[in-house]
C-alpha cells in the first residue's frame, strides 16, 4: 500500500470539504492515490454532502410510520419544495422512520449512530445528499410505544403530521373516533392534552397578563379576579385538547366526543410537527443562484 501523510489527508479535506476520517478512509481505499481518493469521495456522495453542509434545509416532509404497538413521527428536511415531493426523498424519510422504530433511539444523534446495512444511518443520510443533490437532514422525531394502538394523520403530503397514543383496544368505534381526533388536532394545534398538564408557573403568568388587561379596560379590582377566571377557562378551551370544541361540531368537546364513542380517557398523549416550523429560510436571489451554478460548471 502506498504511504500518505497527515498533510495529504488535510489537502484532500481542503479540496473536497469532506471530514478528516472520510478523507483518510478514501486515501486508504485508493491506496494513497490522491485523485482516486477524491473520486471515491464523489462517488460516495461525501464531497457533495460536505459542500452543501452550510445550506439551509427548510423544506421537507413530516412522515409517519407504525409497526405493531410502535409509532413514529419524523421530520426530514431538504432544501427545495420540488425535492420534498420526490419519490427518492420520501424513500429516505421512510428508511429513517423504520430505523427509529427498530432501534428506538432517544435523540437524533443516537439515531444517526445506529447501524444501517454496512454503515451508520448518518452515513446513509449523507450519501443521500449526494444522490439527491440537496442537503438532507433529520430534524426531529417522536417515538411512541403503546398498550393500545397508534393513530397518525399526515396533512397535504407531509406539510404537517399528528400522532396519537390511544390506550384502548382498536375497536371499529375507537379507530373511527381516533381518526376524527387526529384531524381535529391537525386543525386546532393544542398545546396540552388536559388542564392538568398546564404548569402552575404558566397559569400564574397567564393570570397576571389577563388581570392587567382587565384593569387596563377600566374594570374595578373587586371584580377583576372573577373576570380573569372566566378568561382562564377560555385559555383551557383554546389550548387543551380535551377541552377544545370539536372542529366538526362545536356543541361537544373532544372529551365528550371520546366518551360518546366509548373511549373516555383513551388518549394518553399526542404530538404534531409542522414541517419547517422555526427554521429560517435562506433568501437568495434566483439570478445569483443560477450565476453561481454556471460559474461552478466552468471549473
Q: Is 108 within 8 Å of 138 (Cβ atoms)?
A: yes
Q: Per residue in 122-147, pLDDT tens?
A: 999 999 988 888 899 999 999 999 99
Asked if pLDDT for residue 286 goes beyond 70, the answer is no
Q: How are beta strands 119-120 and 115-116 bridged, if at all?
A: antiparallel
* Residue 289 confidence (pLDDT) above 90: no
- Per-residue pLDDT of 13-23, as tens digits, reads 777 766 677 78
**For the whole model, what pTM was predicted?**
0.75
CATH hierarchy code of domain 59-145: 3.30.479.20
How much is the pLDDT for 14?
73
Residue 296 has pLDDT above 50, yes or no: no
Query: What band does 222 get if pLDDT is binned at 50, 70 and 90?
Result: confident
CATH fold for the domain made of 6-51: Helicase, Ruva Protein; domain 3 (1.10.8)
Domain residue ranges in the chain: 6-51, 59-145
- CB crowding 141-180: b at 16 or more within 10 Å, else e: bbbbebebbbbbbbbeebbbbbbbbbebeeeeebeebbeb
Flag whether pLDDT at 293 surpasses 50. Answer: no
**CA 225 to each of CA 29, 202, 218, 234, 290: distance values in angstroms, whole numbers, following the listed order:** 74, 17, 13, 14, 61
Tens of pLDDT along 234-249?
999 999 999 999 999 9
Amino acid at each position: 500500500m502506498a504511504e500518505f501523510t497527515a498533510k495529504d489527508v488535510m489537502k484532500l479535506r481542503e479540496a473536497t470539504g469532506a471530514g478528516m476520517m472520510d478523507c483518510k478512509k478514501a486515501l486508504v481505499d485508493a491506496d494513497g492515490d490522491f485523485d482516486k481518493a477524491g473520486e471515491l469521495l464523489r462517488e460516495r456522495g461525501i464531497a457533495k454532502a460536505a459542500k452543501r453542509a452550510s445550506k439551509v434545509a427548510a423544506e421537507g416532509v413530516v412522515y409517519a410510520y407504525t409497526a405493531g404497538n410502535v409509532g413514529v413521527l419524523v421530520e426530514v428536511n431538504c432544501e427545495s419544495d420540488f425535492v420534498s415531493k420526490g419519490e427518492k426523498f420520501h424513500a429516505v424519510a421512510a428508511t429513517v422512520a423504520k430505523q427509529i422504530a427498530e432501534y428506538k433511539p432517544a435523540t437524533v444523534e443516537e439515531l444517526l449512530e445506529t447501524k444501517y446495512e454496512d454503515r451508520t444511518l448518518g452515513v446513509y443520510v449523507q450519501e443521500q445528499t449526494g444522490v439527491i443533490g440537496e442537503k438532507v437532514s433529520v430534524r426531529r422525531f417522536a417515538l411512541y410505544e403503546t398498550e393500545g394502538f397508534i393513530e397518525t394523520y399526515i396533512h397535504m403530503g407531509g406539510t404537517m403530521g399528528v400522532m396519537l397514543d390511544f390506550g384502548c383496544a382498536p375497536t371499529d368505534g375507537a379507530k373511527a373516533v381516533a381518526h376524527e381526533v387526529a384531524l381535529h388536532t391537525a386543525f386546532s394545534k393544542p398545546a396540552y392534552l388536559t388542564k392538568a398538564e398546564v404548569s402552575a408557573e404558566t397559569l400564574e403568568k397567564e393570570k397576571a397578563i389577563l388581570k392587567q388587561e382587565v384593569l387596563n379596560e377600566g374594570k374595578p379590582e373587586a371584580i377583576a379576579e372573577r373576570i380573569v377566571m372566566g378568561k382562564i377557562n377560555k385559555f383551557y378551551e383554546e389550548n387543551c385538547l380535551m377541552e377544545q370544541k370539536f372542529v366538526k361540531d362545536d356543541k361537544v368537546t373532544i372529551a365528550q366526543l371520546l366518551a360518546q364513542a366509548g373511549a373516555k380517557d383513551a388518549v394518553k398523549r399526542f404530538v404534531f410537527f409542522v414541517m419547517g416550523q422555526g427554521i429560517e429560510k435562506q433568501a437568495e436571489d434566483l439570478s445569483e443562484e443560477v450565476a453561481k451554478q454556471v460559474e461552478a460548471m466552468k471549473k
